[in-house]
A and B are shown apart, each in its own frame.
Chain A
């Protein structure tokens, strides 16, 4: 017998009890009066920053105010009109070439209020490595697209064809040295989320 058939047979032989049906996931889950405020409070506690922006102009101005941004030499933005992009992600075949990207500016689909997470996918993004290899990450999320909790988040998500998606909550971090929090483990050293008003 192949290992596969062996394992499945052993699982079938051993799984004797019949458990009740799967529970439904409806419940009296937490709600927040002001989703935007809840989201921005949580993202601050996990080391990120949240900025409300009226227009692209606002975002560009806010970017320029970030010292690391003004001194950045490689900027990769996939959002037309936002950021002074000088790396064309769609033309990069080998993700290793992204090693020295300073800033990546990407769209986030929606945000989650309870935990400060933003859902980002690699749809229209040839090299998803950029989300993790960049020194600083900027996500632009429509301010109206904030769900209260993860149950609402998964109601929105449909995993059809192949693809990659990630909840990002804050900059990369570690506490592996004596439980001291250090921001900027392997990935981005900072995360800025712009919540747009359109």
Chain B
């Protein structure tokens, strides 16, 4: 189903759509305050983008270096070509340790690989411990945002979900009360987990360590109690030097939620004494993207979510309308790279305003890539007929200035007199939610000429 069709369902509830828009704009405004409070913001973005460009062009060497150093620290490193291999590797490790319960912290990679349902099919209970993720997990829906997984849920919804699953009072909506209930519920899960799974924000080639950032402390609690820690990461999460973290940690939380830094930025170097630490390095299409001059930079993404918070389309259509693990501008670039046919409508879920490119902390040319994807989708013949046909007509008209002028004159003369049903019908997608502007009496050329004569 196309993005537009999904989005139409979301905007049906106008109040909720408006509320969603405002909630994200609030986060965007916080990000702006943080960015402007640092005079070196643009320098930081530039450095971050240079570090990532270097990383991508030396990725194989850096991955080997990371593996060597991590192994020296006592970490067991695994490699997975795709999602299926990733899930198998994780399951094998858990199986060997006779694990039945897992406390998992936020990891978009494991979402991308659909690890939870895979493990559940094998009889392993996986609890998402990030509060937002737990909310959507209980409600049996995917996250709608990569940093704020339950941003589409109002506190009334959360109250209802918790009443159903955590026995909170019916109709409770106080965030303090609900969060406290979740704390008690999840404490119990932490205490009983046999293993912890986390994502990785940054992995350091030079040291073999990696960094995980959270505000809740759920990743740390999840892995410091049981004896087994599995960290799953895409191969693009690498950075060359520990000192590069200075740049990225300054950018990440400020861009994501408008905080100066996340509450916890945990640096893991090797396992705890008597415990095991495994790292799974996953390709799943990333090395292919590396080969594309147009889209390589999309791999620089540090998953801060800023491009979503600022996107006028995302804010008004909701994360679920994208039907991908990563929604919003960056998701609309990554998803077609995986399957252009299935996601052919996403590059069009964009007004090309360029706001995403302006806020991206690693300077990905997001809106340029979205435009490039549109061309690519046309070249591959994946544009739906409903778009292709009007485009063809527009092509005929725009190639003939006389025809364009003549049609313009005709429209100005007759459209204002046409009955509504002829103007606002199924063919006029633009007029579905809005009124056409009043037609001017004169064309632009005419107005311009009149002006020059004066």
Contact = CB atoms under 8 A, between A and B. Distances in A.
Interface in A1-53: 2-4, 6-8, 10-23, 25, 27-30, 42, 45-46
Contacts, number: 253
A179 B258 CA distance: 12
A159 B207 contact: yes
Contacts of A27: 40, 43, 47
Given A25-B246, A150-B245, A15 B56 contact: yes
B269 A164 contact: yes
Contact of A166 (B80, B250, B265): B265
Given A133-B221, A164-B269, A169 B47 contact: no
Nearest to B38: A30
B178 A177 contact: yes
A171 B264 CA distance: 9
Q: Which one of A117, A127, A153 has the greatest number of beta carbons of chain B within 10 Å?
A: A117
B40 A11 contact: no
Contact of B63 (A8, A14, A177): A8
A132 B81 contact: no
Interface stretch (B184-192, B417-425, B443-451): B184-192
Interface stretch (B211-219, B340-348, B356-364, B405-413): B211-219
A163 B56 contact: no
Nearest to A47: B263
Contact of A3 (B79, B250, B290): B79
Contact-residue size bin, chain A (C-beta under 8 Å from the other chain): 35 or more
Contacts of B191: 96, 99
26 contacts: A2-B79, A7-B235, A8-B60, A8-B64, A10-B287, A19-B58, A20-B50, A21-B54, A27-B47, A45-B260, A46-B263, A117-B265, A128-B220, A132-B220, A159-B204, A169-B261, A174-B215, A175-B215, A176-B148, A178-B23, A179-B26, A180-B175, A186-B186, A187-B216, A187-B220, A187-B221
Interface of B: 23, 26-27, 38-40, 43, 46-47, 50-51, 53-54, 56-60, 63-64, 73-74, 79-81, 85, 129-132, 135, 148-151, 153-155, 158, 175-176, 178-180, 183, 186-187, 190-191, 204, 207, 209, 215-218, 220-221, 224-225, 235, 240-247, 249-250, 257, 259-273, 281, 283, 287-288, 290-291, 293, 296
